[in-house]
């Protein structure tokens, strides 16, 4: 297949090259099958892959995952790595919801244990975990010093306050804390926005979903992960709330000036950036780390209330539920990592925006519990279909800087979804499929209708066939709370 506009070349059934031309510094590589590539071409995300390839110090390729769609600067589903000495860091390569991410919890419960208690469970979760635009907790009062400790210590702070256990920390990317954080570089406005929102879900596509393991594709790896057919799971998807949004907004203003200051030629103003080792670059990375740590703490605290909600709604104790954390991964982040580039080990700044790390077995950053199988990869779908658990691979580490997709990927804007859902009761449609849903507003459900997203199964099959993730289990939803 060829495309006149982008000069796309087929590499194999699951990879497509956009050849370097003009001021592009590297080729673009997009992971998709032929049908999905046609879908991807309906927006401008491929142009964004090309634009990213123009940035100074980019190495390897400008990458697009199969869930790619149009975003701010970088496409959502975009991955790019930059040389530490010659490269740049761009807020558009991380996104507004810094460390939006997903965590997966397992339990000792089975579908039969909660079938008759679903209504109570979803209502209890909805009551205990604030959701919606501007949602905040009335029962948690953070002082300014407390908040700065959250920004420095992430999930470790939450555990130190009784929200979970040290064992949880061993199952979080970066153990729940990025060490380069400096709260003094976070604006007063960002701190103000974040103070009341810790422990809240927020709005949009964020959710807490209770489901069950519908399919197991690799029994041995599933056993090591603690997954068993029909076992009950919980997925938590949220990020850094208003604090992360404000950190990004503040940084973009700085980076627009920095791009001019350092004479960086941009194909798109939204790719504003600064050299990694410049004052502006270092300050953004330190503020970004604060927002990432806030998100780690946020998901950790929500996990605590998930555990309490199960015990309350099901009238059981922690010994009966045994809710434990399998893993927690970042979606929107820029991180320093070592990778092989042209046969040489290099330290790079890897931007993943709407993309998930997928490190292989025996990698130093793969948690000890999963060293033999690879880092867990968590790919949520929409609230009406299913989600997947995969593991990272050597091929991902070699070909994509250890990266894979992060979800289904939108195919409709929120406005389009609202138009399509007009006159429908999305909650009733889901109930008829056996899925109970609670949301802060009807508008949220309308925006998040299942058909607003690509089919996550097709997305996951592409990354598996391409060898950058290995499929382990499929999760199906039973009840969901949305913002």
CATH number, domain of 166, equals 3.90.1860.10
Range of the domain at 284: 101-482
Given a cut of 80, is residue 480 above it in pLDDT?
yes
Given a cut of 80, is residue 292 above it in pLDDT?
yes
- Six token digits for residue 42: 């309906």
Q: How far is CA 261 from CA 272, 274, 275, 276, in A?
A: 11, 9, 11, 14
Which residues contact residue 194 at a Cβ distance below 8 angstroms, ignoring those fewer than 6 apart?
A: 147, 240, 241, 242, 243, 246, 294
Report if residue 182 sits inside a domain: yes
What is the rounded CA–CA span in Å between residue 311 and residue 297? 22
Given a cut of 50, is residue 1 above it in pLDDT?
no
* Helical (H) or strand (E) element with 59: strand 58-69
What is the rounded CA–CA span in Å between residue 122 and residue 314? 11
pLDDT tens track for 30-52: 999 999 999 999 999 999 999 99
Given a cut of 80, is residue 297 above it in pLDDT?
yes
pLDDT tens track for 253-269: 999 999 999 999 999 99
Q: Catalytic residue among 69, 237, 406, 465, which?
A: 406
* Helical (H) or strand (E) element with 256: helix 241-261
**Residue-level pLDDT at 137:** 67
* Helical (H) or strand (E) element with 429: helix 426-432
**CB–CB of 453/411 below 8 Å?**
yes
Burial 22-57 (b: 16+ CB within 10 A, else e): eebebbbbbbbbeebbebbbebebbbbbbbbbbbbb
Task: Give 135's Cβ-side CA count (13 Å radius).
Answer: 25
**CB–CB of 348/131 below 8 Å?**
no
User: 3-state DSSP: the chain helix, strand, coil percent, rounded to 5?
Assistant: 40, 25, 35
pLDDT tens track for 327-374: 999 999 999 999 999 999 999 999 999 999 999 999 999 999 999 999
Given a cut of 90, is residue 134 above it in pLDDT?
no
**Residue-level pLDDT at 204:** 80
Report if residue 62 sits inside a domain: no
* H-only helix segments in 179-239: 188-195, 219-225
**Residue-level pLDDT at 138:** 62
What is the rounded CA–CA span in Å between residue 427 and residue 371? 41
Report if residue 8 sits inside a domain: no
**CB–CB of 33/462 below 8 Å?**
yes
Report if residue 299 sits inside a domain: yes
Q: How many domains are contained in the chain? A: 1
Report if residue 424 sits inside a domain: yes
**Residue-level pLDDT at 4:** 67
- Six token digits for residue 421: 């859902």
Given a cut of 90, is residue 383 above it in pLDDT?
no
Report if residue 213 sits inside a domain: yes
Report if residue 44 sits inside a domain: no
Decide: helix, strand or coil at residue 312.
helix
315 is an active site residue: no
**CB–CB of 181/286 below 8 Å?**
yes
**Residue-level pLDDT at 471:** 98
Mean pLDDT, the chain, as a whole number? 94
**CB–CB of 309/320 below 8 Å?**
no
Report if residue 71 sits inside a domain: no
E-strand stretches of 220-279? 231-238, 274-275
Place of tokens 């709330």: 241
Given a cut of 60, is residue 74 above it in pLDDT?
yes
């Amino acid at each position: 297949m060829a495309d006149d506009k982008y000069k796309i070349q087929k590499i194999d059934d699951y990879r497509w090259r956009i050849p370097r031309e003009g001021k592009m510094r590297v080729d673009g590589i997009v992971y998709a099958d032929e049908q999905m590539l046609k879908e991807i071409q309906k927006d401008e995300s491929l142009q964004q892959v090309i634009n990213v390839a123009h940035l100074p110090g980019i190495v390897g390729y400008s990458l697009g995952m199969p869930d790619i769609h149009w975003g701010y600067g970088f496409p959502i589903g975009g991955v790019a790595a930059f040389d530490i000495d010659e490269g740049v860091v761009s807020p558009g390569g991380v996104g507004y919801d810094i460390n939006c991410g997903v965590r997966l919890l397992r339990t000792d419960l089975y579908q039969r244990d909660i079938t008759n208690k679903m209504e109570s469970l979803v209502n209890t979760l909805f009551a205990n975990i604030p959701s919606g635009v501007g949602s905040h907790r009335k029962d948690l009062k953070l002082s300014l010093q407390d908040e700065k400790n959250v920004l420095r210590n992430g999930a470790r702070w939450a555990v130190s306050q009784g929200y979970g256990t040290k064992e949880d920390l061993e199952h979080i990317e970066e153990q729940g804390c990025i060490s380069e954080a400096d709260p003094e570089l976070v604006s007063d406005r960002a701190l103000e926005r974040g103070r009341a929102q810790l422990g809240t879900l927020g709005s949009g596509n964020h959710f807490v979903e209770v489901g069950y393991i519908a399919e197991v594709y690799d029994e041995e790896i599933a056993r090591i992960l603690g997954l068993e057919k029909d076992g009950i799971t919980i997925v938590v998807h949220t990020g850094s709330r208003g604090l992360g949004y404000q950190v990004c907004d503040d940084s973009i203003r700085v980076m627009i000036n920095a791009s001019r200051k350092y004479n960086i030629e941009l194909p798109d103003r939204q790719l504003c950036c600064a050299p990694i080792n410049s004052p502006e670059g270092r300050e953004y990375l330190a503020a970004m780390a604060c927002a990432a740590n806030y998100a780690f703490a946020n998901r950790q605290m929500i996990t605590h209330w998930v555990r309490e909600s199960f015990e309350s709604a099901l009238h059981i104790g922690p010994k009966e539920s045994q809710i434990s954390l399998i893993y927690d991964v970042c979606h929107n982040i820029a991180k320093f990592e070592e990778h092989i580039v042209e046969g040489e080990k290099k330290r790079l700044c890897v931007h993943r925006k709407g993309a998930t790390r997928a490190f292989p077995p025996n990698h130093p950053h793969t948690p000890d519990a999963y060293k033999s199988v690879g880092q867990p990869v968590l790919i949520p779908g929409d609230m009406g279909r299913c989600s997947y658990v995969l593991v990272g691979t050597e091929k991902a580490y070699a070909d994509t800087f250890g990266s894979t997709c992060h979800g289904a990927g939108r195919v409709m804007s929120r406005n389009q979804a609202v138009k399509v859902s007009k006159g429908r009761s999305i909650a009733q449609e889901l109930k008829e499929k056996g899925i109970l849903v609670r949301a802060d507003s009807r508008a949220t459900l309308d925006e998040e209708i299942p058909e607003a997203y690509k089919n996550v199964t097709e997305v996951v099959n592409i990354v598996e066939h391409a060898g950058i993730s290995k499929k382990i289990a499929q999760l199906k939803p039973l009840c969901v709370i949305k913002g």
